[in-house]
Amino acid sequence: MSDTTPGGPGKDPQPATHEPSSPEIEATTDSTSGFVRSPAVGVRKGMFGARDGGDTSGYGGLVAPIVYPGQAERPYGGWYDVVADSLEGLVERVVIHRGEITFHVAREHLQNAMQTLRDEQRFEFCAGVSGVHYPDDAGRELHAVYSLLSMTHNRRIRVETTTPDSDRHLPSCVATYPTLDWHEREAWDFFGLVFDGHPALTRIQMPDDWPGHPQRKDYPLGGIPVEYKGGTVPPPDQRRSYS
């Protein structure tokens, strides 16, 4: 099985909506809100998606860093601290956004953290893993996001781990949560995440001999132009996008 992305139906991969982060944007402390801002993972430029001149509005010169919610600081409040205490030493950072808590865990601690959460904090139920591809998050391009639920305490958390694109390995958690069997296969299928220790890491949605991993950002959407009443509508990934 080839691991490369196919050329697609004769066109370039989707145009990048933002470019790699510039080095001057670093982590800063926001004195007003009290949490540490995370470094930008990209820069958004312009406004109307026009990149080849012709923009007379002046908005084409806009530059805005893409910043995700930053690290929360203790005390997190309520049961968040109880769960965080049990993961002491395993967690890189904790993000609380819109009332949802996310524990960022390095991949070498993932199995340990999941086991602890299930056995000590009674997170009996795992709602699966969702892969996310951040092509501009250098060294952490691929994220695997687990959603855990404690039915005993009625608590819900997220555990997030990352891998660089050059080394897409992370440990499988099927031994802790057997439900992850198909979910990890799906993440492998769509993102190329290799879950070491999975009992049978094969493709699940795409055909077995499919080249590439379709939900990565560098994989083209595909599609053909459609003619309708004399006009031609380009495929969705070649239409104007608003940056």
When asked if residue 218 is in the footprint of another protein (CB under 8 A), the reply is no
Nearest residue to 59 via CA among 48, 71, 51: 48
Q: For residues 162 and 104, what is the distance between their CA atoms, to the nearest angstrom?
A: 8
75 cis-preceded (ω within 30 degrees of 0) = yes
Between CA 107 and CA 95, with CA 126 as vertex, the angle to 5 degrees is 55
> In degrees rounded to 5, what are phi and psi of residue 234?
-70, 160
CB of 162 to another protein, least distance (A): 13
Compare residues 25 and 64 and give the one whose CB is closer to another protein: 64
When asked if residue 215 is in the footprint of another protein (CB under 8 A), the reply is yes
Of 209, 224, 228, 230, which one interacts with another protein (CB under 8 A)?
Answer: 209
Task: Please identify which residue in the block is written with the tokens 């904790």.
Answer: 94
Site string for another protein, 33-72 (x = CB under 8 A): --------xx-x-------------------x-xxxx---
CB of 144 within 8 A of CB of 195?
no
Q: What residues from 117 to 146 belong to the interface with another protein (CB under 8 A)?
A: 124-128, 130-133, 145
When asked if residue 7 is in the footprint of another protein (CB under 8 A), the reply is yes
Nearest residue to 159 via CA among 227, 97, 122, 104: 104
Judged by the rule CB under 8 A, the positions of this chain that interact with another protein are 2, 6-7, 14, 17-18, 41-42, 44, 64, 66-69, 97-100, 102, 124-128, 130-133, 145, 147, 149, 151, 154, 156, 158, 177-183, 186, 203-207, 209, 211, 214-215, 221, 236-237, 239, 241-243
